[in-house]
């Protein structure tokens, strides 16, 4: 069983989620900027995300080179003349730009722009890029999904890590984050439904369930619903002026990491009927 490719995609998803989460938090939830410096745990996570965003595209290129048994001299041709290569170039550029901006303290609006570019570029390598019938809709669903996941889950991870230091986020800061998450969770759900339609909409239910893709998608959606339910309970606490339970937020983040793992596996399998 090939574990390298799913692990590399997981690295890419994690790095992208933190870059988008950081960009949206500091631009749309401005109260988060009130802390004079980032807590150590946040700074370490930003550096790790930056590293992931440099390593993941290079590793994807290496895997593709090995899979196609290409020599180094043939790599420029792969990047120039194939759909995969033309998807990889903008992905690698937006990954590196986000990685450079991530640890910098005063470039947050630029980071948001770079991370949004990354969200758009991510659809260029996956199944969305292979949709010949509705290419634009597929790419839009994919980009919205990645932006929603990053702003919601990436932002939540950063809020949790900020709470590990001395300056625990206040109820006001949590309320600012909650406003973003309340918009982004439905964006994730609706764009996920849109992508589901594009990937499996033309297949019979039994064919979907018989495929690895369908099984992983079902598992993923069930787990994603549990993450949303947990978020909803904490949203009510925050709306009542309290901070959320750290235990529930930790469980929510861990479950979301499992969802990302299932997605990394799923995107390496073929949707039914393809």
Binding site for ligand HEM (CB under 6 A): 13, 122-123, 126-128, 142, 145-146, 149, 153, 188-189, 192-193, 195-196, 199, 217, 221, 224, 227, 256, 259-260, 263, 267
Measured from the CB of residue 192, what is the shortest distance to ligand HEM in angstroms? 2
Cβ nearer to ligand HEM, comparing 145 with 235: 145
Measured from the CB of residue 115, what is the shortest distance to ligand HEM in angstroms? 13
Assess contact for 269 and 216: CB atoms under 8 A: yes
Measured from the CB of residue 146, what is the shortest distance to ligand HEM in angstroms? 5
Cβ nearer to ligand HEM, comparing 39 with 120: 120
Cβ nearer to ligand HEM, comparing 70 with 207: 207
Measured from the CB of residue 262, what is the shortest distance to ligand HEM in angstroms? 9
For the residues of the chain, what is the DSSP string, one character each? ---HHHHHHHHHHHHHHHHHHHHHHHHH-GGGGGSSS--HHHHHHHHHHHHHHHHHHHHHHHHHHHHTT--GGGHHHHHHHSHHHHHHHHHHHHHHHHHHHTT-TT-HHHHHHHHHHHHHHHTTTSGGGG-SSSHHHHHHHHHHHHHHHIIIIIHHHHHHHHTTSSSPPPHHHHHHHHHHHHHHHHHHHHHHHHHHHHHHTTS-HHHHHHSHHHHHHHHHHHHHHHHHHHHHHHHHHHHTTPPPPHHHHHHHHHHHHHHHHHHHHHTTSPPTT-
Cβ nearer to ligand HEM, comparing 167 with 209: 209
78: its two tokens? 């792969």
Measured from the CB of residue 256, what is the shortest distance to ligand HEM in angstroms? 5
Measured from the CB of residue 232, what is the shortest distance to ligand HEM in angstroms? 12
Cβ nearer to ligand HEM, comparing 97 with 217: 217
Cβ nearer to ligand HEM, comparing 152 with 174: 152
């Amino acid at each position: 069983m090939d574990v390298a490719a799913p692990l590399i995609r997981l690295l890419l998803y994690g790095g992208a989620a933190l870059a988008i989460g950081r960009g949206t938090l500091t631009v749309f939830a401005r109260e988060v900027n009130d802390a004079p410096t980032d807590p150590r745990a946040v700074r370490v996570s930003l550096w790790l995300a930056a590293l992931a965003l440099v390593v993941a595209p290079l590793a994807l290129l290496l895997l593709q080179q090995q899979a196609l048994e290409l020599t180094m001299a043939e790599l420029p041709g792969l990047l120039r003349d194939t759909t995969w290569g033309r998807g990889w170039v903008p992905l690698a550029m937006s990954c590196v730009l986000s990685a450079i901006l991530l640890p910098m303290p005063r470039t947050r609006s630029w980071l948001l722009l770079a991370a949004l570019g990354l969200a758009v570029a991510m659809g260029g390598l996956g199944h969305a890029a292979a949709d010949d019938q509705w290419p634009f809709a597929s790419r839009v669903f994919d980009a919205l999904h990645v932006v929603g996941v990053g702003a919601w889950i990436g932002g939540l991870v950063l809020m949790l890590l900020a709470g590990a230091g001395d300056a625990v986020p206040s109820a006001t800061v949590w309320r600012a984050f909650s406003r973003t998450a309340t918009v982004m969770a439905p964006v994730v759900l609706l764009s996920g439904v849109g992508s589901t339609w594009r990937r499996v909409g033309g297949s019979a239910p039994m064919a979907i369930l018989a495929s690895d893709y369908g099984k992983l998608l079902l598992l993923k959606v069930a787990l994603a619903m549990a993450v949303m339910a947990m978020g909803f309970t904490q949203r009510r606490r925050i709306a009542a002026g309290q901070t959320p339970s750290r235990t529930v937020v930790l469980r929510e983040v861990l479950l979301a990491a499992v969802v990302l793992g299932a997605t990394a596996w799923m995107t390496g399998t073929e949707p039914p009927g393809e």
